[in-house]
Chain A
Amino acid sequence: MMEALIQKMRQTAKDLLAQGQVEAVYGYSQGSAPMACRPFVARTAEEADGLWWDEFCVLNLVNFLPRGTEGKYAVVAKGCDSRNLVVRHQEKQLDLKEQVTVLGVPCQGMLEPELIRKATQGRESDIREVKVEGDQVKVSGPGFELSLNKAEVTRETCLTCRHPNPVVESVLLAEKVAEDPDRDKDARVREVEALAAGERQDFFRRLFSTCVRCYACRNACPLCYCNLCFVDESKPQWLGKSIEESDTLTYHFLRAYHCAGRCTDCGACESACPVGIPMRILTRKLEKDIKEAYGYEAGLDLEAQPPLTVFRPDDPENFMHE
């Protein structure tokens, strides 16, 4: 299945490039290490042969796109990525109608290298090979072999995904998959909401206790494209840069708030984190709040505006009356 998809991806890219319809095709190429994910730009028909696709292509390619509406290009996009294309179009960072060709990939769920690493319980640096065989993922290295259930190492965001099919596409690279746009993905958020205030604070302190402030989460996020991020401002300095707990929590909470109404839960942030912090709980809470307050989901409607960027007279105001 992957083979057919890859062939169609390469052929489509070759055609687009050879005919001069696009200047570049943003996709992935094969990596140099197990579970690697290597973004790749093909600019000629020959280079298009380097395009690749597998279950580990977990980053969001929208993050790598140039900003601005000049220059035509194509980009490989799963459901979540395609919604980020819509968000960027809404925010006038690209033009989905005239500029961008979307090579849509209906997604069957991607695997999370971090979950596979954690499953080895400390042997992650010995992983030599990871193979997907049906509903099993075989992980092996010197002296060990694990057979993991695919569902257990599928990205959490994929397990509850409402929109696996691209919401915009110029070319579909595979058959659409079944989807349930009303599926409940808020179970974990409700669990944390139900915690008492002190317990909830402990939960978040523990969650971010290993953060080293590398900002991989921010840099992998297609929404974080500010020319100068608030954490890098120094005059004034909004928050401390060290791993002081209150500063670290402030960074994560504020970044999540900047994504409210825009985040598609692509999970690039969690995938990029070198210490495996599952920080999507913050953006999922905001996703739930936005849905409840504004009836809005990010990246589904080209003509819509994210709710926190516009004012409507009928916007909910209950938070002002508390």
Chain B
Amino acid sequence: MSELILDKARLGDFLKAVAKDYQLWTPAVVDGVADYRPFDPERPPERKIRTRLSIKRFFHPQRENMFRYSTDPEAQEANVLKETLPQGKTAVFGVSSCDARSAVLNALVFVNDPNNPSQCPYYQARLDQTVLIGLGCNEPCANCFCHAVGGHPCGEEGLDLQLIDLGEKYLVKVLTDKGAQVAGLQEMDPAGPDESEAAKEVARKAREAMPGGLKLGQAVSQDLMAVFNLPLWQETAERCLNCGVCTFVCPTCYCFDILDEVQGQEGIRFRIWDSCMFPLYTLHASGHNPRPGKKERLRNRFMHKLKYFPDRYGGKLSCVGCGRCVTYCPVNIDIREVAARMKAV
């Protein structure tokens, strides 16, 4: 694993070089809103920008076309579903360590489930075709807590390259072969031992600055039904709007719906983000819905992320501590508060 040095002044050149071989996305502020946008060579990112929506969109997009088909009875392959796999090399720059972990956690569901041999070819294709270039955090965001869910502000899990901000320059850590290919697009000097130490110091200070006293994972060791039946859920759900914002800004919420749309005789089957907050979620064909109201839906979200998922996937929480749900929930439902109360009294 090599470590290189990239002067900040040369970041623009590096990104331009990457953009020649990859469709490159970087965080950018448009109309005051920070989000991933196609790289604009005129405006390379000058500092760390945390985006509203996570990198989930690169592996599990809001809409993923899966199959095309023709309903024309004269067509040669009428009504046969033709797979439409995503194509094209993508690179994403400025990825926070929390977001990067989410790609690995979601992959457990889509392609790496030890209990389920079937794999999603769409997720796999995007994993294969995407390079993640991380930018470590020098200090935490106002509402984040990666350290309380198994992460680290300068964590490397899920990244191909990791940049650490040393002031005038970045330390560039090459973590995978894909990362090495990207790093090779620009001449970079190897990092010296001082620089290597400085990067470790940045990581250490960032970790120290994370807020203390948080308990996100205690439900993992609790009895499921005891937590399920807590009065916590009715109390919290009273103000929940069931709006779906939390599930959409969350990097690790992955539920989806599959729909067919036919225009004329051309059909597309596609996948879109669904949400356990939506009324049709788990509505059975019989008309029965085991989660008929706000309380059941809200409980489902927290139980899924902090209990069912770790029960199924070896104790890993389906939460990376990015804090977006805390910031954008219109009624200030705070996962840190809810998780602290998810224990049998």
Specify the chain B residue showing the minimal Cβ separation from A233. Answer: B280
Decide yes or no whether B279 CB sits under 8 A from chain A.
yes
Q: Which residues of A contact B (CB under 8 A)?
A: 31-34, 36-41, 59, 63-64, 117-119, 121-128, 141-142, 210, 212-216, 218-220, 228-229, 232, 234, 240-244, 271-272, 274-276
Query: Is the beta-carbon distance between B62 and A125 smaller than 8 angstroms?
Result: no
With A124-B34, A127-B142, A276-B32 already in contact, the answer to whether A64 and B239 are too (CB < 8 A) is yes
Query: Is the beta-carbon distance between A141 and B142 smaller than 8 angstroms?
Result: yes
Query: Is the beta-carbon distance between B326 and A33 smaller than 8 angstroms?
Result: yes
Compute the total of residue contacts between A and B using a CB distance below 8 Å.
131
With A32-B334, A242-B62, A242-B270 already in contact, the answer to whether A125 and B327 are too (CB < 8 A) is yes
Interface string of B235-261 (1 = CB under 8 A from A): 000110111110111000000010101
Query: Is the beta-carbon distance between A212 and B32 smaller than 8 angstroms?
Result: no
Decide yes or no whether B128 CB sits under 8 A from chain A.
no
Decide yes or no whether B331 CB sits under 8 A from chain A.
yes
Specify the chain A residue showing the minimal Cβ separation from B249. Answer: A274
- CB contacts (< 8 Å) of A215 on chain B: these are 243-244, 278
- CB contacts (< 8 Å) of B33 on chain A: these are 117-118, 210, 275-276
Q: 20 A-B contacts, Cβ less than 8 Å apart?
A: A38-B239, A39-B331, A41-B238, A59-B331, A121-B32, A122-B34, A125-B143, A214-B248, A216-B244, A220-B241, A228-B279, A232-B280, A242-B259, A243-B63, A272-B245, A274-B52, A274-B328, A275-B53, A276-B31, A276-B32
Partner of A32, one of B47, B50, B259, B337: B337
Instruction: Give bound CA distance, A214 to B242, whole Å.
Output: 10
Decide yes or no whether B229 CB sits under 8 A from chain A.
no
Decide yes or no whether B305 CB sits under 8 A from chain A.
no
Query: Is the beta-carbon distance between B143 and A212 smaller than 8 angstroms?
Result: no
Interface string of B1-39 (1 = CB under 8 A from A): 000000000000000000000000001010111110000
9 closest Cβ contacts across the A-B interface?
Answer: A118-B32, A216-B243, A219-B243, A36-B332, A122-B29, A272-B330, A125-B141, A125-B50, A38-B332
Decide yes or no whether B291 CB sits under 8 A from chain A.
no
Closest beta carbon of chain A to B321's beta carbon, Å:
13
- CB contacts (< 8 Å) of A34 on chain B: these are 142
Specify the chain A residue showing the minimal Cβ separation from B61. Answer: A243
Decide yes or no whether B275 CB sits under 8 A from chain A.
yes
**Given A125-B34, A214-B244, A242-B63, 9 other A-B residues pairs in contact with their CB atoms under 8 A:** A38-B239, A39-B331, A118-B31, A118-B33, A122-B34, A212-B53, A214-B248, A216-B244, A274-B328
Closest beta carbon of chain A to B290's beta carbon, Å:
17
Q: Which residues of B contact A (CB under 8 A)?
A: 27, 29, 31-35, 47, 49-50, 52-53, 62-63, 139, 141-144, 238-239, 241-245, 247-249, 257, 259, 261, 270, 272-273, 275, 278-280, 323, 326-328, 330-332, 334, 336-337
Where chain A touches its partner, the secondary structure class is loop
- CB contacts (< 8 Å) of B332 on chain A: these are 31-33, 36-38
From B63, B144, B247, B323, residue with most partner A Cβ within 10 Å: B63
Partner of A242, one of B141, B143, B272, B275: B272
Query: Is the beta-carbon distance between A234 and B261 smaller than 8 angstroms?
Result: no
Specify the chain B residue showing the minimal Cβ separation from A218. Answer: B243
Query: Is the beta-carbon distance between A232 and B334 smaller than 8 angstroms?
Result: no
With A118-B33, A228-B279, A232-B279 already in contact, the answer to whether A37 and B327 are too (CB < 8 A) is no
- CB contacts (< 8 Å) of A31 on chain B: these are 332
With A122-B49, A232-B278 already in contact, the answer to whether A33 and B34 are too (CB < 8 A) is no
Closest beta carbon of chain B to A71's beta carbon, Å:
14
Instruction: Give bound CA distance, A40 to B279, whole Å.
Output: 23
Specify the chain A residue showing the minimal Cβ separation from B274. Answer: A241
Query: Is the beta-carbon distance between B32 and A220 smaller than 8 angstroms?
Result: no
Partner of B272, one of A63, A125, A232, A241: A241
Closest beta carbon of chain B to A211's beta carbon, Å:
10
Query: Is the beta-carbon distance between A33 and B327 smaller than 8 angstroms?
Result: yes
Instruction: Give bound CA distance, A36 to B334, whole Å.
Output: 10
Closest beta carbon of chain A to B262's beta carbon, Å:
11
- CB contacts (< 8 Å) of A119 on chain B: these are 32
Instruction: Give bound CA distance, A32 to B142, whole Å.
Output: 11
